[in-house]
Amino acid sequence: MGCDIQFGADDTKADRFVEVKRNYVYGRFTSPKNHRSRRVDLSAELRRTLLDLQDERLLKAFSAGKSTIVQDFIFPSKTGGVLDPDNMIRDRFLPLLRAAGIRAIRFHDLRHTFGAMLIAAGAPVLHGALLTSGPASTAATGSSCRFAWGTRRKSKKRW
């Protein structure tokens, strides 16, 4: 889910993607489910936001006498450690949905929604699906597109 990304790790690349090399599942770090790292695109706006956050945290660390934030998590828990995905969903994500008047969805569904939004913005279907969902999930991204646009597929052909 990206809860274990650190500022100093070689996960945030200058060319606007994050490389996911590990997962945090049931209280421990593991390899991704296919045992291979994957890239997740960052928009230019998100990249700028993360760089601004890094600068802000560096200034705070320096003023506290700390010389680096290399081991700090970008999305830390309240105690500064790794943010447990289950706690994040229960304590932050679902309350935000309720406050915004949005029906409850799985956090993972946002990945497919992002692919659908890429496609809606003009990116090729395959590009949006591969960047956000993986090679086996073009149908899932297509399904998200139909949901987002409020349309249904007339034929039974797959994406």
Contact 89, 107 (CB under 8 A): yes
* 14, 54: one domain: yes
Domain end call among 70, 87, 107:
107
Token readout for 33 is: 């489910």
User: Comparing C-alpha atoms, which of 9, 19, 57 is closest to residue 40?
Assistant: 19
Same-domain pairing of 92 and 136: no
Into how many domains does the chain fold?
A: 2
**Is the same domain home to 37 and 103?**
yes
Q: What is the pTM of this model?
A: 0.59
Mean predicted confidence (pLDDT) in 17-34 = 83
pLDDT exceeds 80 at position 55: yes
Q: 107-126 pLDDT, tens per residue?
A: 888 877 777 777 788 777 66
Residue 155 has pLDDT above 50, yes or no: no
Q: Tell whether 97 and 24 lie within a shared domain.
A: yes
Range(s) of the domain holding residue 154: 108-159
Provide the pLDDT for residue 131: 56
Q: Domain check: are 59 and 122 in the same one? A: no
Do 19 and 94 lie in one domain? The reply is yes
> Are residues 84 and 151 both part of a single domain?
no
The mean pLDDT value for 147-156 works out to 47
Give the pLDDT of residue 14.
Answer: 55
* Confidence bin at 96 (pLDDT 50/70/90): very high
User: Which contacts of 40-44 are long-range, i.e. CB under 8 A and separated by 24 or more positions?
Assistant: 40/2, 40/131, 40/132, 41/16, 41/17, 41/131, 41/132, 42/12, 42/16, 42/17, 42/18, 43/16, 44/16
Write down the mean pLDDT value for the chain: 75
